[in-house]
């Protein structure tokens, strides 16, 4: 049989290793959360408004719809 001191040392080493792995995983998770927060912040603008490029595309689409409605109504744009 193994000596109780040896078993205690092995168990202690396992606990220390598990603790270190847990701390490393927690730091990585926090860094990942910070990265996601930065990605969300980089989208920018107010929550209800699209980005500047999206607003330009939206304006272009509205203009196309107006032209198509004018064509459908028989009015020359």
3-state secondary structure of 28: helix
Element (H, E) at 75: none
Tokens 């701390």: give the residue.
23
User: Are 69 and 75 within 8 A, CB to CB?
Assistant: no
Q: What is the pTM of this model?
A: 0.50
pLDDT of residue 73: 83
Tens-place pLDDT, residues 20-77: 999 999 999 999 999 999 888 887 655 555 566 677 788 888 999 998 888 888 876 5
Structure tokens at 2: 């193994």
The total of other beta-carbon atoms located within 10 Å of residue 2's CB is 7
pLDDT of residue 77: 54
User: Are 23 and 31 within 8 A, CB to CB?
Assistant: no
């Amino acid at each position: 049989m193994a000596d109780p001191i040896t078993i205690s040392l092995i168990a202690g080493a396992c606990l220390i290793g598990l603790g270190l792995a847990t701390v490393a995983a927690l730091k990585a998770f926090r860094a990942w959360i910070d990265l996601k927060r930065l990605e969300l912040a980089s989208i920018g603008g107010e929550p209800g408004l699209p980005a500047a490029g999206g607003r330009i595309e939206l304006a272009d689409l509205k203009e196309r719809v107006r032209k198509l409605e004018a064509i459908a109504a028989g009015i020359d744009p």
